[in-house]
Amino acid sequence: MTELHSCVEVHPPGESFESGAGKAAIGVTGSRNELALARDRKWQVGQELRIRFLDGDARGRSLVERYARTWLEYANLRFVFGDHANAELRITFTGSGNWSYIGTAAQRIHPTEPTMQLGGLADVNPPDLARRFVLHEFGHALGCVHEHSSPVAEIPWDESAVYAHYRSSGWDDDQIRHNVLHRESPMETDFSSYDPDSIMQYPVPAELTTGGFEIPWNTDLSAGDKNFIAQLYPFREE
């Protein structure tokens, strides 16, 4: 079975995209392939995001800065890395696995606590895997949800196989449902067509689906990622 280096979406206590309702959907048009973004977690266009490392060595920090800035080629935001007391984003390299709060949800986390975890990033090889982790988690930090959770995603999951696999990795059923099987409400997200090439897409091994459906590792931003994030954070307002 394909090794699944999974990350999880995390939310402030008591919050979840599943609980919200009643927001009017807005149209977002663009290329055929686009990712999904949580509308109420978007930063201001042109905003400066201060980023502080809570720990980690020089190599891990350098990898984060290098790969995270890839998003800025397409999104009108600024990243300022430094020892900022009131940093919007705070990164730890301790712990196992990778996770990030979604967009502006990070502002509701105590300033001494991390808003993103990149566990053991400095030891990750090959380099394209480290790039994948950083781009994926910073996609969450900009407000993007998992692409396989897009309202228009149609992955033929074998749910019993999915639960069995992730239970063996230590996940409980709520984590599995939300991070793998759940699809976001169209009332809560901006989205277009489903993009299996998105950096926000989990790899999908055939063993977890029916009919042999699978998606390999994505290790860089897709054309759809670039086009969509440029629309959400445009360099020139329409």
Q: Is 165 helix (H, G, I), strand (E, B) or coil?
A: helix
pLDDT at 217 over 60: yes
Query: In the structure encoding, which two tokens stand for residue 68, read together?
Result: 């995270």
Give yes or no for a contact between 157 and 198, defined as CB atoms under 8 angstroms apart.
Answer: no
pLDDT digits (tens, 9 = 90+) for 150-196: 766 778 999 999 999 989 988 899 988 877 887 765 544 445 567 88
Higher pLDDT among residues 47 and 34, named by residue: 47
Report the b/e string of 98-107 with b at 16+ CB within 10 A. Answer: bbbbbbbbbe
What pLDDT sits at residue 208? 94
Closest CA to 176 of 42, 3, 2, 4: 4
pLDDT at 26 over 90: no
Half-sphere exposure of 115 (CA within 13 A, CB side): 26
Please give the average per-residue pLDDT across 47-55, as a whole number. Answer: 97
Q: Quick one: residue 120, left, alpha or beta (phi over 0 = left, psi -120 to 50 = alpha)?
A: left
Higher pLDDT among residues 11 and 203, named by residue: 203
Higher pLDDT among residues 180 and 107, named by residue: 107
The whole model's pTM is what? 0.79
Please give the average per-residue pLDDT across 1-15, as a whole number. Answer: 49
Q: How many residues does the chain have?
A: 238
What pLDDT sits at residue 39? 58
Please give the average per-residue pLDDT across 104-130, as a whole number. Answer: 87
Closest CA to 89 of 75, 101, 73, 74: 101
pLDDT at 219 over 70: yes
What pLDDT sits at residue 191? 52
Give yes or no for a contact between 210 and 58, defined as CB atoms under 8 angstroms apart.
Answer: no
What pLDDT sits at residue 97? 84
Higher pLDDT among residues 183 and 225, named by residue: 225
Q: How many CB atoms lie within 10 A of CB 18?
A: 13
Give the ranges where the chain is alpha helix by DSSP (H).
58-68, 127-141, 159-168, 173-176, 223-232
3-state class percentages of the chain: helix first, strand second, coil last, to nearest 5:
35, 15, 55
Mean pLDDT of the chain: 80
Integer Cα distance of 199 and 215 in angstroms = 12
Give yes or no for a contact between 140 and 102, defined as CB atoms under 8 angstroms apart.
Answer: yes
List, in order of start, the domains of the chain with CATH numbers: 32-232 (3.40.390.10)
- Helices and strands (DSSP H and E) totals, the chain: 5, 8
Q: How many CB atoms lie within 10 A of CB 108?
A: 12
Give yes or no for a contact between 56 and 92, defined as CB atoms under 8 angstroms apart.
Answer: yes
